[in-house]
């Protein structure tokens, strides 16, 4: 009888499936794990306002960022300023200043609004340039959003407590001389009964990635046995028992 020799070569390959890459989540408020926050002062009145955050639970996320964003309407500008009683014109949704380097720890937004000036000799409607400035402490955690995979012009990388100074200012080149310079927006006078026409809104929120899974959460490795034999290759998959 003719004998046929079957050559079998077994190659053991251990394949450990790694965790899927975390996807950026958000914007949300509060962040995963919660936060303690406080606001002191007024954004439109000297010496302006300070927004402070503390008591983060950083174990609830892998990366965590804070930025200016309207969590309900992320596509809209998160900074809005007006002197005419309504956020109803394009310039009253401020635009981020891309020339402001994040390395300085400062972010700025610019816009324009209408002002019905009540000052004698200058009465009537005038255009007022608006500026909103955020100054971060610490300053070194401010980054370009795109570099972090976040759809925002800038983000503050959260690694602990931080604070942000918020300043809303205006400038009227055709108004009274004392208003032809940047000054707190609430210092622009209004006609009697119209003091509510001055409004400043700033929205903020968090983006994050989920925490990396622990070793116990990783998928069970699988062993693949490749059999090289006459007629081709066969693959067998064995589950490793605990």
pLDDT string in tens for the chain (242-residue length): 433 333 332 323 333 444 445 799 999 999 999 999 999 999 999 999 999 999 999 999 999 999 999 999 999 999 999 999 999 999 999 999 999 889 999 999 999 999 999 999 999 999 999 999 999 999 999 999 999 999 999 999 999 999 999 999 999 999 999 999 999 999 999 999 898 999 999 999 999 999 987 655 555 444 333 333 334 433 434 444 44
7 and 98, same structural domain? no
Q: Give the pLDDT score at 85.
A: 95
114 and 13, same structural domain? no
The β-bridge partners of 40 are 50
132 with 79: CB under 8 angstroms? yes
In a 3-state reduction of DSSP, which class is residue 4?
coil
219 and 184, same structural domain? no
155 and 226, same structural domain? no
- Contacts by residues 99-106 (CB-CB < 8 Å, ≥ 24 positions apart): 102/142, 102/143, 102/144, 102/154, 103/142, 104/139, 104/142, 105/135, 105/136, 105/137, 105/138, 105/139, 105/140, 105/142, 106/133, 106/134, 106/135, 106/136, 106/139, 106/142
Six-digit token string for 88:
């109803």
Q: Give the pLDDT score at 111.
A: 98
160 and 59, same structural domain? yes
34 and 5, same structural domain? no
Q: Give the pLDDT score at 12.
A: 31
Tell me how far apart the alpha carbons of residues 123 and 126 are, in angstroms, rounded to a whole number: 9
94 and 34, same structural domain? yes
Count CA atoms within 13 Å of residue 144 on its CB side.
Answer: 7
Count CA atoms within 13 Å of residue 201 on its CB side.
Answer: 15
188 and 109, same structural domain? yes
147 and 241, same structural domain? no
Torsion angles phi and psi, residue 76, rounded to 5: -90, 155
238 and 140, same structural domain? no
Which residue in this structure is represented by tokens 């300023």? 81
Torsion angles phi and psi, residue 78, rounded to 5: -80, 0
Tell me how far apart the alpha carbons of residues 17 and 115 are, in angstroms, rounded to a whole number: 62
218 is in which domain, residue-wise?
Answer: 1-19+213-242
77 and 6, same structural domain? no
Which residue in this structure is represented by tokens 């010496």? 47
57 and 5, same structural domain? no
Give the β-pairing of 183-184 and 63-68: unpaired
**Length of the chain, please?**
242
| Total of domains in the chain | 2
The per-residue b/e assignment along 74-86, b for 16 or more CB within 10 angstroms, e otherwise, is eeebbbbbbbbee
C-alpha torsion sign, points 29, 61, 157, 160: positive
């Amino acid at each position: 009888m003719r004998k046929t020799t079957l050559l079998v070569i077994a190659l053991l390959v251990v394949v450990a499936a790694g965790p899927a890459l975390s996807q950026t989540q958000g914007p949300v408020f509060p962040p995963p794990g919660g936060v303690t926050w406080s606001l002191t002062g007024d954004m439109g009145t000297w010496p302006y306002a300070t927004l402070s955050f503390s008591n983060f639970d950083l174990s609830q996320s892998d990366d965590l960022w804070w930025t200016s964003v309207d969590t309900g309407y992320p596509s809209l500008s998160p900074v809005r300023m007006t002197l005419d009683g309504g956020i109803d014109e394009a310039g009253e949704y401020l635009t981020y200043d891309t020339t402001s380097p994040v390395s300085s720890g400062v972010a700025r937004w610019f816009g324009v609004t209408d002002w019905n000036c009540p000052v004698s000799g200058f009465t009537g409607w005038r255009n007022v340039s608006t500026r909103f400035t955020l100054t971060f402490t610490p300053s070194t955690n401010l980054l370009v959003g795109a570099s972090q995979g976040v759809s925002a012009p800038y983000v503050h990388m959260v690694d602990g407590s931080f604070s942000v100074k918020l300043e809303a200012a205006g400038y009227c080149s055709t108004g009274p001389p004392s208003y032809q310079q940047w000054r707190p927006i609430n210092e622009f006078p209004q006609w009697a009964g119209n003091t509510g026409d001055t409004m400043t809104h700033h929205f903020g929120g968090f983006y994050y990635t989920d925490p990396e899974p622990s070793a116990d959460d990783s998928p069970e490795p699988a062993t693949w046995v490749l059999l090289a034999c006459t007629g081709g290759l066969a693959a067998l998959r064995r589950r490793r028992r605990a």
